[in-house]
A = this chain, B = another copy of it.
Amino acid sequence: MIAVLKQGTTQAQTQHLIDWLKHMNLDVHISEGQEVTILGLIGDTTRVDMELLGSLEIVESVKRVSEPYKQANRKFHPKDTVVQIGDVRIGGGHFAMIAGPCSVESEEQIIEVATAVKEAGAQILRGGAFKPRTSPYAFQGMKGKGIDLLLEAKKVTGLPIITEIMNISTLELFNDVDIIQVGARNMQNFDLLKELGKTKKPILLKRGLANTLQELLMSAEYIMSEGNENIILCERGIRTFETCTRNTLDISAVSVLHEMTHLPVVVDPSHATGKSRLVPPMAAAAAAAGADGIMVEVHNNPACALCDGAQSLTPQQFADLNQRVQRIREAIL
């Protein structure tokens, strides 16, 4: 961490600050220039309140030079994390295709879709049981019953399942779920993250609509700091000024995250764009950028889906997409 002192700071003031910093077990190196004096703080700066330091009268600005996340940091864990779900692996060169309906609607529906996506090449089944909806008047999901139906579909197809949690109090309903998803709106629900950190279950952590990649890693750090390292990050579009798409897919997040962290990164083109016809090209782009997996919404009858039908592919469209993605993965080797 770097603290830049204001012009006109006296020797005594500087010394006073240095003493305070040393008191926090930091080493301090001084660079004096004509316009500015710079203090380099060496040691564990994760606990230093940057903004408080920056607000001191003699301090002009403070800059962090090492990242505030440790366990998620590739610097300290250079090797790719591989998350294992049954026979399926994600990360470290292993790629997984996750598919299924936005919401579980009925036994017939989820089994039909699960069977179709398995045949089309999916390795993991997705399906929403608890649905975060902007409006209280919209369909809120089948809840516990939805999880039961997903488990039914797992029995029939053998596909491991992923579904979203919205609330700690429902955690035990997820005992047999293979991957627990944390949605974009809960990315900074810190109490939920801590609780998930105490399980050993794989967690798929979605980036919030307006969260930076560093904040995403800080949220992963919340889970890891409680002992759970099975985390899959998910880019699903960010909020920008553009209104042609529901969100703006930040495709460079895939490459940047691969530099910052050892955790695997998957992309959800369905929520990013909100339009089914944009899903195949965005899935292709994600594969080309090196994503470790893709999660897409597939419905047997998109026009009748209770939720997000607009962004769902038919099983046939998904099969085509999957083949294109596989060809692209070979092309980038």
Give residues in A with beta carbon < 8 Å to B: 2, 4, 7, 27, 29-36, 38, 40, 42-43, 46-47, 49, 51-52, 54-56, 60-61, 63, 65-66, 68, 75, 132-138, 166-169, 185-186, 188-192, 194, 208-210, 212-215, 218, 221-222, 225, 238-246, 248-256, 259-260, 272-278, 281-282, 284-290, 302-303, 305, 307-311, 324, 327-328, 330-332
Contacting residues, chain B, for A225 (C-beta < 8 A): 136-137
Contacting residues, chain B, for A52 (C-beta < 8 A): 302-303, 305, 308-310
User: Chain B's nearest CB lies how many Å from the CB of A211?
Assistant: 8
The number of times this chain is found in the oligomer is: 4
From B36, B47, B282, A252 is in contact (CB under 8 Å) with B282
**A210 engages B332 (CB within 8 Å):** no
User: Chain B's nearest CB lies how many Å from the CB of A245?
Assistant: 5
Contacting residues, chain B, for A212 (C-beta < 8 A): 241-244
Bound-state Cα–Cα, A260 to B302, Å:
24
Known pairs A166-B190, A169-B169, A248-B248; list 9 more (Cβ under 8 Å): A33-B40, A36-B65, A63-B63, A185-B189, A255-B281, A255-B282, A285-B289, A324-B331, A328-B328
Interface of A, secondary structure class, is mixed
From B75, B135, B250, A242 is in contact (CB under 8 Å) with B250
**B51 engages A310 (CB within 8 Å):** yes
User: Chain B's nearest CB lies how many Å from the CB of A180?
Assistant: 15
**B135 engages A68 (CB within 8 Å):** yes
**B278 engages A256 (CB within 8 Å):** yes
Bound-state Cα–Cα, A136 to B188, Å:
11
**B68 engages A35 (CB within 8 Å):** no
User: Chain B's nearest CB lies how many Å from the CB of A9?
Assistant: 14
**A63 engages B2 (CB within 8 Å):** yes
Q: Determine the residue in chain B with the shortest Cβ distance to A212.
A: B242
From B65, B243, B246, B328, A4 is in contact (CB under 8 Å) with B65
Q: Given A31-B31, A189-B186 in contact, is the A61-B54 Cβ separation under 8 Å?
A: no
Contacting residues, chain B, for A311 (C-beta < 8 A): 51, 55
Bound-state Cα–Cα, A332 to B259, Å:
27
Bound-state Cα–Cα, A324 to B302, Å:
35
Contacting residues, chain B, for A191 (C-beta < 8 A): 166-167
**A65 engages B38 (CB within 8 Å):** yes
From B47, B136, B168, B285, A167 is in contact (CB under 8 Å) with B168
Contacting residues, chain B, for A221 (C-beta < 8 A): 135-136
User: Chain B's nearest CB lies how many Å from the CB of A240?
Assistant: 5
Interface centre among A4, A36, A210 (most CB of B within 10 A): A210
From B34, B188, B239, B310, A134 is in contact (CB under 8 Å) with B188
Q: Given A46-B135, A331-B330 in contact, is the A240-B248 Cβ separation under 8 Å?
A: yes
